[in-house]
Structure 1
Amino acid sequence: MGEEYKSKVFKSGNSLALRLPKALGLQEGEEVTLVSHDDGSFFFWRQDRAREVLMGLYGSMSAGFMADGRDDTAQDDRDWSHAATQAA
């Protein structure tokens, strides 16, 4: 794990903002992806690293990750005979 930084949330217009330390190496205007977790924690990464982050998550799954399937629930049959004539 890397360095730990503390910051405060402040109001900026009608939004909330978080001042990030320069030491993180972000540049003004750089886009980031921010993900909130159910436990209240957040994770973010540079947008240009999205593929790298995704592939890292993929590689972290165990070999038997979906060995038992997705455990989907059964769905009723649908009548698609008139679906092409209806507008979305």
Structure 2
Amino acid sequence: MVITKIFRNGNSQAVRIPVELAFKNWEMELVIERHGDELCIRPAQQRMGNVLEKFARFSSDFMANGRGDNQEDEREAL
């Protein structure tokens, strides 16, 4: 656990994020959400990044047999 302090920046509160917890990219927007007395800070949008590179790592026979039988259970009528 890392302890830090809040400070005033103009009319806003700000928090100093220690280097060991800092985001790698400084050119990003963040979302701050309150959950009770906790604040959650995360990137505003998750970018797909190198998703094509990740797909290229699948073997050539990946899903060759399809998904198999995906029988859905019967549901009660609404």
Give the TM-score band, short-chain normalised.
0.3 to 0.5
Higher strand share: 2
